[in-house]
Chain A
Amino acid sequence: MIGRKASTLGLGILLAVAACGGGNTASNSPSTSQNIGGSVTLWAEWSSSEQQAFKAALVPFTTSTGVTVNYTSKGSTISTALGSAIQGGAPPDVALVPDPGTVQTLAKQGSIKDLTSIVGSLSANYGDAWNQLVTANGKLYGVWFKGANKNTIWYNPAEFAAAGITTPPTTWEQVISDAATLKASGIAPFSLCTDIGWPVADFWQNIYLKTAGAASYNSLSTHATKWTDPTVTSAFTTFGQLVGDPSNLLGGLNGSLSNSYPTCVDKVFPKTGAQPKAAMVFEGDFVANEVKANSATYAPGTTGNGGAACSIDPAKTPCYNFFDFPAPAANAANQGAVQGAGDVAIMLKDTPQSEALVKYLAGPTGASIWATAGGFTSPNKTVPTSAYPDPVTQKDALALVNATSFVFSLDDLQGTWEPMMWQDMLNFLKTPSNVSAIQATMDTQATAGLGH
């Protein structure tokens, strides 16, 4: 599940519309230039400021095709809403869903349209891993629009400096040793966002990806690898090296179990008037939006505003930065693998208007507009790096596009037993010694949930 917290949006959107409108190269430009008119209904999960940003990203589409987009926000339960609408016989023309598991199910049911010929060469705008997630029986059923990089551990550079840590950790072992250094300097190493299950799952999935590798990860996600597998045990044990010692966690176990997202981010990157209570927080790249919302003084990178040194006090020159989730030294080969998530456009009714919209979403125009507005990363290779507002976001977006292997957030591929998986992960946090029982439970649940 993606934490959905959008950045503040300014007039930048409007400027971006003007700037990006004509910036496409000929090969990527969607053939939506002829004015076809009419309208298209579109569902996605985004509301409030994200909805505004998305609508701004659709303005060039309406301008060039004359097609009115009737957008409805369905919130986080969009997949269920879509399922009901399909059963009821009145689905929207196009929808953006946050889980490829739903795309696969709907494709098998024949409820969504094959986009292979409609998208055509535009599919080359995405890496193979992305297209593979929405391909069923050799046919492409989805077009990715928004991505999220979950390979990011966010840290307060001023706290690292105060603990004498000059370079962020590049191996898991260094994460553990840096945690000890941070504790010695008097700050809690991690603020966990685990009053709910999905952030624990995201954390564990990163560890599984970095210990077992992308092939095992994909195999586990379809339950071809059992949850009782030794690779799973090993990932739990590795995770336990950190969370098994509650002094690594802000507030210990109970503190972690009542630390909600985005409050957990505020503990590391506080609002003006408060002090950081922890040095690191793990979650996807959407953390950056929360940091910037806390105070405009936060500067991306390791230098404060005006070139000053990073300061702990958010009223002065605080900074925020991330490092890539590190693999254990013995598994360095998996270092380039990236876990992420995203929203994918699917077509439920084949009309000229919905075809035009799908092609538009596969191109760089809309994504570039939202990228410039901030709080957005695109898995689309043709979105220029320069569209992103700062070096930290650029690094984040490049990691998403250039990953040696990309895997989708595993919990979002589990369908109906996803909420149970989150509870199991929380149970591990509560009793890290109970690994084998938890693994057995998870395997039973996965069998029931996935039907094999």
Chain B
Amino acid sequence: MAEIGTEATPRARRRAAAVNEGGNPGGGWRDHLGSLAFLAPGAIFLLAITVYPLAATARNSFYDATASNYVGLANYKEIFSTSSILVTFRNNVIWVIVFPFLVTFIGLVYGVLSERIRWSTAFKTIIFMPIVFSATASALVWRTIFDLDPHIGIVNATIQTASDWINPPGLYPVDPSAGQSVAGLVATGVSAGPKDSLESSSTVTAGNPVELGLIGISPATLQLVGAQTAVVPTASPGAVTGLVWRDFSPSNPTARGQVLPDELGFPGLKLTLLRSDGTSAGTAVSDAHGDFSFGSVGSGSYKVQIDSSNFSSGFTGIFWLGTQSLTPTSSLNQTAQALLSVPLVDISMILAYLWIWAGFAMVVIGAGLASLDREVLEAARLDGAGEWQTFRRMTMPMLAPVLIVVIVTMLINVLKIFDIILNMAPGSSQGDANTLALAMYNFGFTGGLGNWGLASALAVILFILVIPAIVLNLRRIRG
């Protein structure tokens, strides 16, 4: 530090310039001791919890699972060649493309709306409220909301209520989505008919009672609708009579065809008597013993049909948190599927996340709207611009900086999305809903001692992906 002295050295000139610009007054590093002392705690803090972990992670990404042996680029190679890891990139892309713009749009709508309605404070409070809940709690709530079982999930319950009103389920619902089929109920004297109905295997005539045996319905279901012991009806001249009964006896579980004392009738079945040309010759409903009778029919031969409406299960629930793809990719190979399918669970989670963050977007955009120059808008209106024109040509351009702040903030937010996926997607969907941040956690902290190398490599990739968004944000803050 001996150079302090001669005016002529370039360094001294630079220093002098710094002083002139109001930089550091005085000279020599000793003069900085005071400020250094004040800076030190912050600098040490920054080094210890930001710079060191950053460097250590970058180093570990070139090492093996225990972070002890150098493996070169092996971790990166594995990431880009494993389809189950490539899925995480796809999901991050879906989130990044869909979420920031959607949340900004909704925030804008809410923002404009809240300026024009009464009770706007109450409205804003309600919309903003989800943001104060923990994301984990919100995720668990939304997992329940989207539950497959309509008794639990309100979305499916709502659809079911509407569906049942239009198309009520039968007394004996058979759910094809659960792998059940009406044909699976066939036991004795019946066979599958058209459109999920059943019909008697042989033709029937008046005066000869017919016995139709079904299985696959539990006694609890039958007792609930008042079933009693099955009774073979007596022959009745001029009428087609018969019995539909549960052809399953606990005392003799493989016996079919006999009406045993511990077997129940099927009450309330809607039946149709079909002529040989398939037209209806009458309808009947079975009684508590499973007996039915079609009175005063002619001498022809008929078939008895058990209507499909008896077995309609109605709406049984959409698996909102499932991995069924919204894009048709089933014909593609594994890697292409991993890159191109859009699982339904992603969309359900995005909806939940919108609920969480729409309030934030609304408040920021609302503040932007409030600070707009009203006179300019007023002038535009006076010049004859309509509402839409004013909004499109005046409000939007003036609001653009605010909208970009929201978009960029949300972009960074969803790039590192983690908690909602861990908590909202069921384990059976997590493989398809996985994101970079969650994969990083799973590799690093689950599965024995964890694979630190791979997790670190994912962290480095995530960091690199976030950099452009951060640079953009910093530029905006500076400018």
Contacts and interface: CB of A to CB of B under 8 A. Distances in A.
The answer to whether A and B interact is: yes
Interface of A: 77, 79-80, 82-83, 87, 99, 101-102, 105-106, 109, 161-165, 181, 183-187, 194-197, 245-255, 257-258, 260, 275, 312, 412, 414-420, 422-423, 426-427, 429-430, 437, 441, 444-445, 448-449, 451
A431 B187 CA distance: 30
Nearest to A249: B179
Given A105-B449, A418-B448, A426-B431, A260 B426 contact: yes
A194 B431 CA distance: 13
B322 interface: yes
B219 A162 contact: yes
B220 interface: yes
Nearest to A248: B179
B321 A415 contact: no
Contacts of B451: 416, 449
Contacts of A441: 83-84, 334
SS of B interface (majority): loop
Contacts of B179: 245-249, 252-253
Interface string B80-94: 001110000000000
Q: Which 7 A-B pairs have the closest CB atoms?
A: A246-B179, A196-B427, A186-B218, A164-B253, A252-B178, A247-B179, A423-B431
B449 A423 contact: no
B442 A419 contact: yes
A416 B439 CA distance: 12
B446 A77 contact: yes
Contact of A312 (B148, B220, B249, B253): B220
Contacts of B147: 258
A362 B395 CA distance: 76
Contact of B447 (A183, A245, A419): A419
B401 interface: no
Given A194-B428, A423-B84, A163 B448 contact: no
B447 A415 contact: yes
Given A162-B219, A257-B322, A420-B84, A195 B448 contact: no
Contacts of A260: 426-427
Given A254-B319, A257-B319, A258-B321, A161 B445 contact: no
A414 B217 contact: no
B148 A258 contact: yes
Nearest to A440: B334
Contact of A185 (B178, B250, B445): B250
A184 B78 contact: no
Contacts of A245: 179
Given A162-B219, A415-B449, A255 B148 contact: yes
B449 A257 contact: no
B110 interface: no
B296 interface: no
Interface residues of B, number: 57
17 contacts: A77-B446, A83-B66, A83-B449, A163-B253, A184-B216, A184-B248, A194-B428, A196-B428, A247-B179, A248-B179, A252-B178, A254-B322, A257-B429, A258-B147, A258-B149, A260-B427, A275-B220
A254 B429 contact: no
Given A183-B184, A184-B215, A247-B178, A416 B450 contact: yes
Contacts of A83: 66, 449-450
Contacts of B78: 448
Given A415-B449, A418-B446, 14 more contacts: A105-B448, A106-B449, A181-B253, A185-B218, A195-B426, A196-B426, A196-B427, A197-B427, A252-B178, A258-B426, A416-B454, A418-B447, A418-B448, A423-B431
Contact of B221 (A186, A251, A252): A186
Nearest to B180: A247
A416 B248 contact: no
B144 to A, nearest CB: 11
A330 B429 CA distance: 36
B175 interface: yes
Interface string B429-447: 1110000000000111111
A197 B428 contact: yes
Contact of B219 (A186, A257, A417): A186
Contacts of B187: 184
Contact of B448 (A248, A414, A422, A451): A414
Contacts of A102: 448-449
Interface in B131-182: 147-149, 175, 177-181
B216 A186 contact: yes
Nearest to B146: A258
Given A186-B217, A252-B178, A99 B448 contact: yes
B361 interface: no
Given A80-B449, A183-B184, A195-B428, A164 B215 contact: no
A437 B444 CA distance: 27
A417 B447 contact: yes
Nearest to B321: A258
B252 interface: yes
Contacts of B67: 87
Contact of B250 (A105, A162, A420, A448): A162
B251 interface: yes
Nearest to A415: B448
A3 B167 CA distance: 41
A65 B192 CA distance: 75
B65 interface: yes
Given A79-B449, A197-B427, A416 B321 contact: no
Contacts of A418: 446-448
Among A183, A249, A250, A251, the one with the most B-chain Cβ atoms within 10 Å of its Cβ is A251
A449 B451 CA distance: 8
A448 B319 CA distance: 33
Contacts of A109: 66
